[in-house]
A and B are shown apart, each in its own frame.
Chain A
Amino acid sequence: MDALIELLQKDALMPREDIARLLDLSLDEVNTEIARLEKDGVILGYQAIVNREKWGTDLVTAVIEVKVTPERGGGFDQIASRLAKFDEVKTCYLMSGGYDLLVIVEAENLRAIAGFVAEKLSTLGVVQASASHFRLKTYKENGAFHQFDQAPERLQVSP
C-alpha cells in the first residue's frame, strides 16, 4: 500500500473519503488498511510539522554525533535504545562513517542540552566521544518548506 502511505505522509489529515476516491478504493477498504498499518506498527504516529520561528518557541535543538564502543552481545542496539529512552532525545540513528550514533536532542535551552551531554551522555562508559551541533534555522523539514516561494503565475486557460 505504498500509495496510501505516501498520501498519509504528505497529509495525514486528508479525509478518508478523499483517499478512497484518489486510490479508487471504498471507504471501508481505506479504513481497514490504515487500521492494519497502525496495528502492524508500519505507521507509528501522526505529528504536526511546526515552523518554530512563527511559533516563537525558545526550544533548542542539537544534533549530536556520538562515537561508542559496541558491546558484546548487544552491538549498537543496546546503547542506542538506552539513549533513545531519554525524553530529550527526539531522534536516534545508527550511522555509517566517522561516528556511530546520530542523536537529535531538544530541550528548553542551551544549558539543558549541555547538561544532557555532560551528565547523561558522556558518563555512559561505552561513549568514546561526542560532538554537538546546534540548529540555527530551518529551511525544510520532513518535506515541508519553512519559507515559501510565491507560486509562479500560470495562464488560466491554455491549450
Chain B
Amino acid sequence: MSIAIADRVRDIPRSGIRDFFEVVQSMGDVISLGIGEPDFVTPWHIREAAIYALEKGRTGYTSNLGLPRLRQTISDYVSKNFSVRYEPADEILVSVGVSEAIDLALRAILNPGDEVIYHEPCYVSYGPSIALAGGVARPITTRAEDKFILRAADVEPMITSRTKALMLNFPTNPTGATMPPEELEKIAALCVKHDLLVMSDEIYSELTYDGVTHPSLAALPGMKERTVLLHGVSKAFAMTGWRIGFACAPAELIDAMMKIHQYAILCAPVLSQEAAIEALMHGVPAMEKMRSAYELRRNYIVTEFHALGFEGFKPQGAFYVFPKITKTGLTSREFSLRLLQEKRVAVVPGTAFGPSGEGHVRCSYATGLDQIKIALTRIGEFCEELSINRSVAA
C-alpha cells in the first residue's frame, strides 16, 4: 500500500542537521564541532536527586502543567534571574523541552495564514513549526557585519495585518548573537505599537560572556502581557536528554497551550521534573563552572579562527561560533562535506539554519579543549591545502 502523507508534512524539508548527521554517522572517528549540547554530563547532585526520586517511587503522572513544586521553583528562578514574576498556578507550563513549548504556543495562537516573523539564521525548528501549525513563516535576515542583531527597523516593514507574533532567540543558536538592551527596548516598543505577541526563546540566557547579562524581553514595560517566555534546563544545566522546558505566559494563553499539551503529551516525565527542581534550586554554582569553561573555550576558538584568517565577531552568548568561510571559495555545504571527508572534522553548514546561513558554518565549543585544538589544527591544514590547490589550478 502506498501511504499518502499529509501535504503539510510532506512539504516540510527534513532538518539540515539530521541530514548532515547521517553523513557523519557513516564515517566514524570524527572530531565533532557539530554538537548542539553541552559536553558536560548533568552535575552529579542533579542526577542523584533523580535517583532519589526514583527510589522513593515517584513514578506517576504529574499535573498537566507540571509538578506544583517545580512550577513554584520556576517562578522563583525566573523572578530572581529575569526580573519578572509568574504565578505558579496558572502562568507556567512545564513542557518536554522548549521545542514542545514552541509548538504548543504556535498551535495555540495561529489561525491558517497567520504570519510569524522571526530572525534568521535561526534554530532549525522555527520555520517548520510555524508551517505545521498552519502559519506562514516570515524570516528576517540578520547580518554577520551587524553581529546578527535583530533591528527593530528591519522588523517594522515586515509587519502586515496578518502578523500574529514575533519569535526571538537570544542568545542565538547558531550565531551566538546577543541583543543590546537598547535594541531590545525598540523591539518591545514595536510589539506594543502593533499589538504583537512575542515568543522569546531564551534557552541560552545563562550562557553569556564578557560580563554581559541577558536582558529578558518579558521584563520590559508592557511586555509581560504579550510575551511567551520560553526557557528550560537543557543547555545551562547540561540536561538536554531530560527534556524539560517551560513556558511562562499570560494565564489564558497557558490554558490554551495546556489543552494541546494534555491531549498530546499529558505531562513531562516526572523524574525529569524532579531533576529540574534540583537544578533550578541548587544547580547554579555547578552551572556557573560550566559557563566559565565555555567562556575560556570561546576565547580559544575565536582567537584560533582569527589566526586562520576567518572573519567573524566574537559572540557573547550560547556556545557557538559562526565564522564566515567565503574566503575558501566553497559553499557552506561543500566546506562542511570536504572538511569532513578530508580531515574528519564535523561542523554544521550554515544553511541548516536557513538560506541566510550560506557562507558560514556553525562550530560548537561545547566540546573538550583537546578536541577543539585538534579540530582547529585540521581546519588550518584544510584551508592551506585548499589555497595551494587553488593556486595550482590558477
Contacts and interface: CB of A to CB of B under 8 A. Distances in A.
Contacts of A158: 17, 21, 34-37, 240
Contacts of A152: 41
Contacts of B303: 21, 24
Contacts of A21: 299-300, 303-304
A155 interface: yes
B21 A18 contact: no
Contacts, number: 57
Interface string B31-55: 0101111010100000000000000
A157 B24 contact: yes
B36 A159 contact: yes
A121 to B, nearest CB: 37
Contacts of A24: 299, 303
A85 interface: no
B194 interface: no
Contacts of B253: none
Interface string B165-178: 00000000100000
Interface in A1-23: 3, 7, 18, 21-23
Interface string B350-394: 000000000000000000010001000000000000000000000
Contacts of A147: none
Contacts of B41: 152
Interface string A116-159: 00000000000000000000000000000000000010111111
Interface string B328-360: 000000000000000000101000000000000
B20 interface: yes
Nearest to B38: A154
Contacts of A159: 15, 17, 36, 123-125, 173
A157 B17 contact: yes
B231 interface: no
A154 B123 CA distance: 20
A157 B21 contact: yes
B161 interface: no
A41 B273 CA distance: 47
B212 interface: no
A22 B297 contact: yes
B123 A18 contact: no
A110 B299 CA distance: 50
Contacts of B39: 154
Given A155-B35, A157-B32, A157-B348, A18 B369 contact: yes
Contacts of B173: 159
Contacts of A18: 300, 369, 373
Please provide the 5 A-B residue pairs with the shortest distance between their CB atoms, ordered closest to farther.
A157-B34, A22-B296, A157-B21, A21-B300, A24-B299
Interface of B: 15, 17, 20-21, 24-25, 30, 32, 34-37, 39, 41, 123-125, 173, 240, 292, 296-297, 299-300, 303-304, 346, 348, 369, 373
Interface of A: 3, 7, 18, 21-24, 152, 154-159
10 contacts: A7-B296, A18-B300, A23-B296, A23-B299, A24-B303, A155-B21, A156-B24, A157-B24, A157-B348, A158-B36
